Amino acid sequence: MALSYKARKRWALIVLLVGLPVYIVAAVNIVDLFERPSFWVELLVYIGLGILWAIPLRKLFRGIAQADPDAQKAERP
């Protein structure tokens, strides 16, 4: 079942305002569990984790910045 445009927009907002900060705190705590690696290794880990969170959510974020396609259908007679 596909989400409507408004539902996707709301879920994207929740993910960005709640989920992403929680993910950032979790990523920092996971890296902190180990002895602090060199700057470049730590940078690569954070870049990898930054890409990793977005992969499963890309369908949710796709087209959110565009105009509501359902609104155009409703305006036509």
Segment 48-76, tens digit of pLDDT: 988 998 898 888 888 888 888 777 665 55
Q: For the chain, what is the domain count?
A: 1
Domain that holds residue 48: 13-55
14-41: average pLDDT:
89
pLDDT number for residue 14: 94
pTM over 0.95: no
Domain membership of residue 37 (yes or no) is yes
Domain membership of residue 68 (yes or no) is no
Q: From the centroid of its chain, how far is CA 58? A: 7
Domain membership of residue 29 (yes or no) is yes
- Rounded CA-CA distance 60/2 in Å is 10
Dihedral angle over CA of 53, 16, 14, 27, nearest 10 = 50
